[in-house]
Amino acid sequence: MRWSRTGVCSSVVMLLVVGVSLAQPALPKEDIPKDIPAHIRIHVERLYSPAVAERAGGAYVLGIMGRQSHQATPYLIGLFKDEPDVRAKAVEALGRIGEPAAAPLIEVLKTGDDTSRPAAAEALGKMGLPAVKPLMATLPNDEEKVRTDTATALAKVGSPAVDTLIVGLKNENVHIRWGSATALGEIKDLRAVPALIAGLKDKQWADRWCTARALGDIGDRRAVGPLVEALNDQEWRDRWSAAQALGKIGDPQAAKPLIAALADEAPGVAWHAAASLAMLGKSAAPALVEALKDENAVVRRAAADALGDMNEHSASRPLIVALDDADEEVRHKAAGSLGKMGAPVVPQLLTALKDEKLNVRWGAMKALGEIKDPRAVAPLVEGLTDESWDIRWIAAVSLGKIRDARAVEPMTRSAKDENAMVRAQAVTALGELNDRRTVPVLIEALKDADEQTQAAAVKALQKLTGQSFEKNTAEVWQDWWKKEQAEAKD
């Protein structure tokens, strides 16, 4: 059997069809070509050993030999489904073999499965410059998965691929442009920044999207100005990607433009602007506090929400002021954010419990539960009898978090609430309150017509008693409880 590079490719195809053993290459050991040099053959044969360490050792030595062991390529690829250590050694060896292994690895990238493809991408990445040209030729593949793995492989090549990828940004093929931008973003080489900034002016929105995302991944501040400009683009997807990228870069200069984007009504733009403001951290806090006074209620809402996400305690006073905002949703967001500020804001949240709007009261109750301050117990207990089931539900949630014994008796009554969601949450909270006096109430909840309440009762009983039964019926638990009580009397 004569061995050639074409033969290597044919063998790889055969390997992929036959499948790969977890212990050794799928190609029959007896078919190893006779003309493979003895010093290569001996280590190829080691790849068939039942011992993991021996297979890993064979792959390692073949890698040390580098290009001269290129005839071992299909056998090393056959280890892609082996144990992690063996696979890692095979990947390293293929990277060292270099250009002769590129075509077979590209074939795996195109036709392999979810295990072999990433290994091929890793090996190609370790190969360096010799892998760039064949990988660029693979980017236009019809399958998205292949294109994604190819871009990943190019990113793993790193610096040696940058010049080619920069040229790829202007290729007539859309997939080469997108793949090039994606890989450049992952490589994070500053040489790519000017070309990517220029790409923000490309004709197709998808190209602009990819380049904005890459600029965000690289994180170079030279991109801040162009990305801020993109926040005013007519295409909403440009504004979305620009807002997202600015958060990743993290430059405080982006704070005010991002705050202005909080009023954007296009899908996702305001959300990404708020998320990016939170990523900016404390540097964005002054601008967000100022935004709490904006004439646009949408901006005030988003600002209140973002201040909570960044957990900026210096904003507690402005957020307390926002509890009196004319807009109901602003008050709701402010209450939610104050829940992350701790005990000092409890008095103001207790006052917010008297707000005329249900949404605001709900937010204040949730916040008090997050803070876990005992001063909130009495008003939360009162909330268990509110006419709105939404309020009764969140009161039960928050009392369960605070875990104060004063809530036990009122919560047992809530376990029989007319609303199934309230009953289920009350039962869950009883499990959190950890009082064995509630066992009979929880056993009774096992008879509830609502399945969610039944499931909550099982979990609460198991948590409270440490018991677990094959059948969690009220009868089984009742029998156990009677025996438990009898033993306690003895």
Packing angle, helices 236-249 and 269-280, rounded to 10: 10
Note the pLDDT of residue 20. Answer: 41
Q: Is residue 350 in some structural domain?
A: no
For residue 265, pLDDT over 70 is answered with yes
Q: Is residue 163 in some structural domain?
A: no
Note the pLDDT of residue 17. Answer: 40
For residue 14, pLDDT over 50 is answered with no
pLDDT interval class at 23 (50, 70, 90) = low
Q: Is residue 81 in some structural domain?
A: yes
Cβ–Cβ < 8 Å for 402, 346: no
Q: Is residue 239 in some structural domain?
A: no
Q: How far apart are CA 419 and CA 426, in angstroms?
A: 11
Note the pLDDT of residue 280. Answer: 86
Nearest to 302 by CA among 273, 322, 335, 267: 273
- Tally of CB atoms within 10 A around 128: 17
Q: Is residue 11 in some structural domain?
A: yes
For residue 24, pLDDT over 80 is answered with no
Q: Which residues contact 362 (CB under 8 A, 6 or more apart)?
A: 332, 390, 391, 394
Q: Is residue 132 in some structural domain?
A: no
The mean pLDDT value for 283-293 works out to 88
Note the pLDDT of residue 63. Answer: 94
Q: What is the pLDDT of residues 403-451, one digit of tens each?
A: 999 999 999 999 999 999 999 999 999 999 989 999 999 999 999 999 9
Q: Is residue 155 in some structural domain?
A: no
The mean pLDDT value for 250-278 works out to 89
Q: What is the pLDDT of residues 175-185, one digit of tens each?
A: 999 999 999 99
Phi and psi, residue 207, nearest 5°: -65, -40
Helix (H, G, I), strand (E, B) or coil at 244: helix
DSSP letter for each residue of 261-286: HTT--STTHHHHHHHHHHHHGGGGHH
Q: How far apart are CA 124 and CA 141, in angstroms?
A: 17
pLDDT interval class at 5 (50, 70, 90) = very low
Note the pLDDT of residue 86. Answer: 93
Q: Which residues contact 235 (CB under 8 A, 6 or more apart)?
A: 205, 208
Among 103, 127, 151, the domain boundary falls at: 127
Nearest to 238 by CA among 269, 263, 215, 193: 269
Note the pLDDT of residue 490. Answer: 65
The enclosing domain of 468 has a CATH number of 1.25.10.10
Note the pLDDT of residue 150. Answer: 92
Note the pLDDT of residue 287. Answer: 87
Retrieve residue 157's tokens: 């090549």
Nearest to 41 by CA among 56, 25, 62, 21: 62
Among 65, 98, 127, the domain boundary falls at: 127
Q: Which residues contact 192 (CB under 8 A, 6 or more apart)?
A: 162, 165, 166, 184, 214, 218
Retrieve residue 113's tokens: 């499965």
Number of domains in the chain: 2
Retrieve residue 137's tokens: 């030729």
Note the pLDDT of residue 460. Answer: 95
Task: Give 288 or 418, the one with higher predicted confidence.
Answer: 418
Q: What is the pLDDT of residues 339-383, one digit of tens each?
A: 888 888 899 899 999 888 898 899 999 999 999 999 999 999 999
Task: Give 413 or 270, the one with higher predicted confidence.
Answer: 413
Cβ–Cβ < 8 Å for 315, 288: yes
Round the average pLDDT of the chain to a whole number and report it.
89
* Amino acid letter for position 23: A
In this prediction the pTM is 0.65
Retrieve residue 422's tokens: 């309230």
Nearest to 7 by CA among 88, 109, 103, 85: 103
Q: Is residue 121 in some structural domain?
A: yes
Q: What is the pLDDT of residues 70-118, one digit of tens each?
A: 999 999 999 998 999 999 999 999 999 999 999 999 999 899 888 898 9
For residue 464, pLDDT over 50 is answered with yes
pLDDT > 70 fraction of the chain, expressed in percent and rounded? 94
Lowest mean pLDDT among 66-70, 120-124, 334-338, 453-457: 334-338
For residue 35, pLDDT over 90 is answered with no
Note the pLDDT of residue 39. Answer: 93
For residue 173, pLDDT over 90 is answered with yes
Among 127, 147, 173, the domain boundary falls at: 127
Q: Which residues contact 78 (CB under 8 A, 6 or more apart)?
A: 15, 20, 21, 24, 25, 26, 27, 47
Note the pLDDT of residue 161. Answer: 95
For residue 61, pLDDT over 80 is answered with yes
pLDDT > 90 fraction of the chain, expressed in percent and rounded? 67
Q: 455 lies in which domain range? A: 388-490
Which segments of 19-159 does DSSP mark as H helices, in order? 38-46, 52-65, 73-77, 84-97, 102-111, 116-127, 132-138, 144-157
For residue 7, pLDDT over 70 is answered with no
